[in-house]
Each structure stands twice: as structure tokens, then as C-alpha cells.
Amino acid sequence: MKIKKKDNENTALPISNNSLKPLIFSFFSGAGFLDLGFEEAGFSIGYVNEVHGPFVEAYKYSREQLNLPTPKYGIYEGDISDCLDGKESKRLAKLIKETKETGQIVGFIGGPPCPDFSVGGKNKGEHGDNGKLSKTYINLICKHKPDFFVFENVKGLYRTVRHREFFEGLKKELNDSGYQCTERLINSIEYGAPQDRERIILVGFLAKKSKLDFNKFDWFSETIYKEKEAFKFPWPQSQAIAKSRTMPKGIPPELTIKYWFDRNDVENHPNAHHQFKPRAGLAMFEVVDEGDDKKKSYKRLHRWRYSPTAAYGNNEVHIHPWLPRRISVAEALAIQSLPKEFVLPPTMSLTNMFKTIGNGVPYLAAIGVAQTIKNFLAADH
């Protein structure tokens, strides 16, 4: 899917009798994968907040390559707590007020850093440095009162008993502030991304802005495959490494690594040569079977299968299906279902490249979630 080129004009959109595109205020934006999905679905990006300098540069660079406009109110490079208190909070409140006065719908989107809730991460929960940011984001929503919000996080926040209590507390705070919420544990593969990636998505709407008939909020309206159905195809098992391999019958090619590598022309992509070189030589990459992804680290992808979760921290390494090396940045971007025109800056460190890719919401999943919200807003009269 190719990103549509957009200008700085607000074009007509039949949403809640509103002639203006809903304006998105994005937090924990990273390189902007979630933002791109919302833009593709017909929203405008108005404000961006990201604290990590290299991610801000990646956000700007990638949008320049895609010929996309600068966010209406710019990018604030600073801690999200600044948006809750102090000068930036006052500026943010003013921008939101001005936007609402034009009749535009205001939406907050964001996925706070999640290692403290991840099963394979630090598991410090709400008391960890990253875990505290989830509470800050919810406080930000309750203070500035966007018309709707999206909160994205790892499944550990939703499924782990000790973290679920914290999650329920966040929802209560939102309810007490006038929001009605709906949630679902989605899998990116449902939306056509070639990746088994579960994430909890919490969406909320201000009651005064909506009749909030959640019978009209259809979480499945934009899914291509139901999660369990996507895993029922006759996917190939681990096999000895081979330079070529015929695609098995009965599988959807658009969910495979090979399809996306070809689609994004990864060998000729500007980020094709951005890859970590093994210190211990090639030996470790020559003994792992294609499709052997059961270990925590050094998982070899299968060309005719989807990828495990694109998480490239905590020593997790994904190996190219048939070549004796780690996957490149271009290949990782393809696994995140981004269009081939999306490029990270060549000056960015490999660590930051893979970190921002692994943190991002797969592009097709982002579009699906955004379109689901758009459908609900359009139906909400």
C-alpha cells in the first residue's frame, strides 16, 4: 500500500456532520508509523511529541521522503510531562481549544513505552520508569479532554494479573473524566501485516461529544483475517536452508516474508545495507534452519511464513530466511508493512533504527484501527 500524498489543506470528510478532517495530537510518536496509518485513513496530524532526538529526526526525514506536510502545530521534542504541566501544557491547551472552536474533532493517539509490562521485558509494571508514562498519558487525556483517544500497549498490560489491575485503574480514571471506552487485544496479522504481533488497543470517546452507541463500534470492520483463521493455513515448518523454495499451496502470499521483501524491493531500498554485522563470523547463521523461530534470540524467518513479533531489543535477533546474516533495516520495515517509499535517515545509528522499527505499530494495523474509529465517528450522529 502506497501512502497518498497530502497537502496542508483540510478536505471534506463526512464525519459527525463535520466538514473538517479530525486533527490528531500524537504522543510517543517514534518515527511516526501510527501517525501515517491515521493519515492514510483520512485524519490530519496536528501536533507531535517525542522525547528521543534521533526518533524526531527520523520522523522529519521520513515525511520529507514521502512528501508529507509538517504537522500543523509542529513537533515538540521534550518529555511528555511538559505537556501536562508548565508552558507546553498551556500552549497545548490553547491549540486544542482553537482547534475545537473551528469545529474540528480532536484525537490523541499514543503508545507509551512498554518494556515494564512486557513478559520478556523488565516487568516492573506501573512503578518502572516506562510504566509510569502510561499513567502520565492517561492524565494528559483527562486534563486536555480530546474528543477521542487511542492508547496502545503490549498484551502483558492486559493479560498479566498484576498489570491488569493497573490497566483497570487507568480505565476508571478515564470513565470518571467523562470517557466511555472500548478495548480489544488485536493481532497485526488480522489487518494483513506479515507479523504475529498482539497489542492491546484502548479507545475512548468523550460522552458529551457522542451518543456512544458501541454497537456501532465494530472492531472487525477493517480486519482481513480473523486472528485464529490467519494461523490455520498450512504454514510450512522449519526446513534446511535453501537458496530457492517453491511457495506451498494453500497459503495467502500477502502474509509472507517473501511477498513483502519483493513488494518493497528490499535489496535496492535505501536502507538495504543498514544491518548489524556478526562479530563471531557467519557460523551461527549457517546452522539455524529456515523458519526455526522458537528460541528467544537468533530466530530465522521463513520466506513463506509471517514473522514473529518485530522486537529487536533484549538480544532478540531475526535472521534472514536464506542468507547467513541478520535482517536489514529495509527488511524490518517491510515486516512492519510500511510502503517501500518509507526510509530512515542514513545518519541514524543501527541501534536507533531497529529500536524505532520495533517500537512502531505495523502500518496496516495502524490504518485498520484508524479506519475503525473513522467508521464509528461517521456513524455517530
Which residues are identified as catalytic? Answer: 114
Which is nearest to 223 in space by CA: 197, 191, 193? 191
Which is nearest to 47 in space by CA: 15, 64, 66, 22? 22
Say how far apart CA 22 and CA 39 lie, in whole Å.
10
Give residue for cell 510531562.
81
**Phi, psi for residue 261 in degrees, rounded to 5:** -65, -40
- Contact criterion met (CB below 8 Å) for 56 and 77: yes
- Contact criterion met (CB below 8 Å) for 292 and 311: no
Using CA atoms, how far residue 77 sits from 27, 39, 59, 175, in Å, is: 10, 21, 11, 30
Grid cell listed for 281:
563470523
- Report angle CA 201, 144, 8 to the nearest 5 degrees: 80
Longest dimension (CA), the chain: 63
